[in-house]
A and B are shown apart, each in its own frame.
Chain A
Amino acid sequence: MRAFGATQAVPTFENPAYTPLKKPLAEARVAIVTSAALHRPDQDRFSAGDTGFRELNRTDRSIVLGHWSPNFDHSGFQIDLNVVYPIDRLEELAADGVIGDVAPRHFAFAGNQPDTVSELRLDTGPACARALLADGVDVVILTPV
């Protein structure tokens, strides 16, 4: 899959933005955004090609992996969700004072997006950014599968 991925056309970004962290990490609020298509059982499942996202609350641990790709082994997530969505590790980093705080909400997209990723760039991505900013998030850790 890595060899295949290396050959894929990808979107390019001219003059990408760079936002430095303006406060000490020990005072920063951190969120996770994953492309593993995670959702709670009570939320809508991800359709194939879903460009939307689902909110996960800080305390949610009963979570399903809804990614449509058959090309990776799901057992890691089934053994320990932190291997995809390191929410317990974030809580520990906050308890130890390494980071300031864990965000109240975290977000999941589906990694298998249409090739142009237009919706992600223009619609659902900015909507998710607004939700993160509304929660006072400073730092986002992005995890793929």
Chain B
Amino acid sequence: MSTLAHVFEAAGLSTIVLASMKEVAEKMMPPRTLYCEFPLGRPLGLPGDVPFQRDVLERALALLDSPGPVLETYPLVIESDEMPLTCAIPPRFDATVPPAVDEARGLRAAYDRTVAARGVTGVGRAIDADTIVDALAVLHEWAEGDGAWTDTPLPGTNTTAVCHDIRAYYTEAALELADGPRPGGRAVDAWFYENTEAGKTMLAARAKLKEQGAATPIWFYMAPAHR
């Protein structure tokens, strides 16, 4: 972002960066920066909060009055909520399939309702919604099976993209199922990795790939670095 700010200013545009990393902004010195300590992935702070988002934008636009380069900090910090979202998970239905497969099938109706309401889905980088359960079955095999992970091909092939698709499927389903206030900065991720069978299966498969000597780019980006 800061690089683009410099390129755009040189071309004759006035820019304002909403920065999420203060040290990076201080080193790169974009001409006008509003540093916002909000959860990563939420540069305007609060989803669905119109007055709050507008205040962030108005403070950013006010930096245009500065006669020279300026870095200001937004006065309010929003902590990243790590408490898992409260969201019911479907009960075990078919004991003959891996738990994550059963669970993903159970979430399909909620996922479909979200897609109908939003008109768009984040699923589809490597696989579509119909293939989520097949991918989870393979991740289960990688995590729990006796063979090498290379024995069982993953639908969609690219582990990073497939894991993004599974997370998107679960997140979109969860937003339909969860009650209460809008989830905080990391609540949905915490729910996914700590409470769902799919999240646990993904982490277990990732550990197994690492253990079996898979190249780092294949396993590392399957989940956030801190997990």
Contact = CB atoms under 8 A, between A and B. Distances in A.
B125 interface: yes
A145 B43 contact: yes
Nearest to A130: B11
Q: By CB atoms of chain B within 10 A, which of A10, A33, A143 has the most?
A: A143
A138 to B, nearest CB: 6
Interface residues on B, range: 35 or more
A75 B24 CA distance: 25
B167 A74 contact: yes
A93 B28 CA distance: 29
B23 to A, nearest CB: 4
B225 A4 contact: yes
Contacts of A144: 1, 17-20, 43
Given A8-B24, A84-B42, A76 B47 contact: yes
A13 B29 CA distance: 8
Contacts of A145: 20, 40-41, 43
Q: Which 6 A-B pairs have the closest CB atoms?
A: A72-B41, A129-B11, A125-B7, A80-B47, A6-B23, A75-B188
Interface of A: 1-2, 4-6, 8, 10-13, 16-21, 25, 28, 30, 33, 35, 41, 45, 48, 61-66, 68, 70-80, 82-84, 86, 89-90, 92-93, 98-99, 109, 111, 113, 117, 120-121, 125-126, 128-130, 132-133, 137-145
